[in-house]
Chains A and B, each alone.
Chain A
Amino acid sequence: MQYRVSFLFDLLANLFSSFTDLAAMIIIFTHTPALKGWTLAETAFLFGLTNTSFALAEMIGGGFDVFQLLIREGKFDQMLVRPLGHFFQVMTSEFVLRRFGRLTQGLAIIVVALHQILASETAAIVVLLLLPVIAGGTLFYMALFITQATTAIWTVEGLEVFNIITYGGNEVLSHPLDVFHPVLRRFFTYILPMAFINYIPVAAIIGKPLTAAGVPPWTAWFSPLFGLGAFLLARRFWDFGVRHYQSTGS
C-alpha cells in the first residue's frame, strides 16, 4: 500500500516536472507566433518526441541510474559472479515504471501537435515514420545514461558533474537547431551529429527547410543509425570501465 502511494506520488511529480517545461514553452509562444521559424505546435512536436525517447530510455535503462549504488552495496560484485552478462544485469536491475508519466505525456504531445500541423491522412503515415526516429532517440539517450553510469567506476563524488552530459544532451535534442548559434549548429551537425537524432527527421517530416543544418532531407534516415552508433560506442566504453572496476575494500 505504502509502495502504491509513493508510486502515485512519483508519477504525479514526474508528470508535473515535465509539464512545467511545456508550460514555459507555451508562455514563450504567447508573445510570438513563431521562434526562428518554428511555431508552438512544431516546437512541441519535437519536444514530445524527445520526451518519449527519454522516457523509454529511462524505463529500459533504469538500472544505469542506480549503478553507483550497486557498486557501493557490493551488488555489482554479486552480478559479476553470475553467469549472465553484466550489462544486461545492471540494465534490468531496476524498472522505473513511474516514468510512465513522462511517456504518456510525450505521446500525447506528439498526437496533439501532429493534429495541428498535418492533415489527418498524412499524420497516420507520419506516425509510422516516427517509429525509427523514436528508436534512434531512445538508443541515443541510453548511450548518455550508460556513459554517465560508467564514470561511476572511477569517481564516486564527482558524478553529478556528469549530469551535464545527460541534461546538456537533452537540451540540444529538444530544441530546434535554428535557435543555436551558427557555430553550435555546425558542431551538432558535423562533429557531434546529434541534430540527426531528432531535429533533422522532425524538420523533414513537417517539411521545414533544413537551412540550419545545411543537409538534404533524406539524411533524416540517419536517425536510427546514429542512435545505434552512439549506443554501441557507449557499450564499448562500459566494457572498458568494467575491466577497470576496482570493487570495494571489504
Chain B
Amino acid sequence: MIVAKDLVKEFKIYQHHRGAFGAIRNMFSTKHTIVRAVDQISFQIAAGELVGYLGPNGAGKSTTIKMLTGILVPTSGELTIGGIVPWRERVKHVRRMGVVFGQRTTLWWDLPVIETMELLRHIYKIPERQYRRNMDMFADLLGLSEFLNIPVRSLSLGQRMRADLAAAFLHDPEIVFLDEPTIGLDVLAKERIRQFIATINSEKKTTVILTTHDLGDVAKLCRRVMMIDRGKVLFDGALAELVSRFGGERRLIVDFAEEYDDLSIAGARIVAKEGRKVTYAFHSNGNGVAPLIENLSRNYKWADISLQDPDVETTIRHIYEQWEGDHSSEYC
C-alpha cells in the first residue's frame, strides 16, 4: 500500500547576512548548505500494519512523515500511497489520511473541541451516522466528553493530544501517521492512548505509522519496527527479531550464600557486585543458561538466582549507543 523507493529529502539552508544590506544580500545570495535529512530510504507497508518508526533525535523521522503526508515534496526517489503520489494529488491523498503531530496541534486554536469536530465533519463530508458512531466511540475510548466545550488553546497537553487523535481518526482514514503521539504525557494518559491506537488498528484495520521516543509505545503496539539514523534505514523487521539480533547480553543475578574471594566463572563477566549479590552478563550462544548454573553450583553455595532477558528498552539503548560510537569514530 505504501511504497517508498530511494526516497531522499534535502533541505537547503541559506546563509544569513547581517547588517545594513543583509536582507538584500540574502535575496540574491546562493550560498547555502544542504542537509540530507532522508537519505535513499526504501520500504513497503501493507494495509492494516502498525509500524513503529524509531531513531534518535534528528534521524529524519518527522521529515519522512512530512513527505508521506504530502507536506514536503521529496528531492528524489519514488513514493506512492495506495497508488497516489501524495504531493501530486494532495487533496485526494489527505482525504483518506489522518495525522497527529505531537509537538504541535493540527486543530484550530480558538475553536472548542466540539466545534472542531463539527468543522471536520463538513470538511471531510462525513455522513451523520458515521460521525455519531465515531464520536461515541471516542467519548468512550478517549474520554472526549470531559472537555468538549473547551477551546483547543485552553486544553492541557494530554487533553489536546486526545482531541488531536480523535480528529485524526474521525473520518475513518485508511492510514494514520502519528509523530510522537505520547510526548510529554503521564503514564495513565500514555496507556490510554496506546489502548486507543491498538483498538482502532485491530477493529478498523487502519494502517498506522508511529514515531516515538517512548519504548513502552513500541513494546506495547508495534510488531514491526523500522529504525532510522542519519537518514538511513538500518533495521526493518519484526520487533522480536530486533531484540534477539541486537539485544546483546542476558543477565544472571546471583545471591551467594557465603563470602568468596574469586567469583569469576567461564563464559560470563561480572558487571556489578553489591555485597553477596553479583550480576553476570553473558551471551547464550544456543546453550542457554544451564552450563553457567551448573558451573556455579559445582563451585559455590548460592541462595537465589534470577535471569534477565534484554527488553526493548535496553536493546534500543544498546543500538543507539553503538551508532553513537560509530559516528564518533568517523571523526577520529
- Taking A83-B124, A243-B87, A246-B12 as contacts, is the C-beta distance between A158 and B27 under 8 angstroms? yes
Q: Does B90 contact A (CB under 8 A)?
A: yes
Contacts of B72 in A (CB 8 A): 245-247
Q: Are B66 and A84 interface neighbours, CB within 8 A?
A: no
**Which of B97-105, B234-242, B295-303 forms part of the interface with chain A?**
B97-105
User: Does A161 have its Cβ within 8 Å of any Cβ on chain B?
Assistant: yes
Q: A49-82: which have CB < 8 Å to B?
A: 74, 77-78, 80-82
Instruction: Give the residue among A85, A157, A246 with the most B Cβ atoms within 10 A.
Output: A246
Question: Is B24 within 8 A of A161, CB to CB?
Answer: yes
Q: Please, how many angstroms separate the alpha-carbon atoms of A157 and B90 in the complex?
A: 29
Complex interface residues of chain A between 194 and 248 (CB less than 8 A to chain B): 243-247
**A220–B17 alpha-carbon span in the complex (Å):** 45
Give CA–CA (A160, B26) in the complex, Å: 12
Residues in B with CB closer than 8 Å to A243 are 73, 87
Note all chain B residues with C-beta closer than 8 A to A160.
23
A-B contacts counted at CB < 8 A amount to: 66
Establish whether residues A250 and B103, one from each chain, have CB atoms under 8 Å apart when the complex forms.
yes
- The answer to whether B71 and A83 have CB atoms under 8 Å apart is no
User: CB-CB contacts of B16-32 with A at 8 A, as 1s and 0s?
Assistant: 10000011101100000
Question: Could you tell me if B71 and A161 are in contact, using CB atoms closer than 8 angstroms?
Answer: no
Q: A155 in the interface, Cβ–Cβ < 8 Å? A: yes
B14 interfacial by beta-carbon distance below 8 Å: yes
Query: Does A154 make an interface contact (CB < 8 A)?
Result: yes
Indicate which residue in B11, B14, B73 contacts A155 across the interface (CB closer than 8 Å): B14
Measured CB to CB, the nearest residue on chain B to A162 is B27
20 CB < 8 A contacts A-B: A77-B66, A77-B106, A81-B70, A81-B71, A82-B94, A82-B123, A83-B91, A84-B91, A85-B91, A155-B14, A155-B26, A157-B16, A160-B23, A161-B24, A245-B71, A245-B72, A245-B73, A246-B11, A246-B72, A250-B104
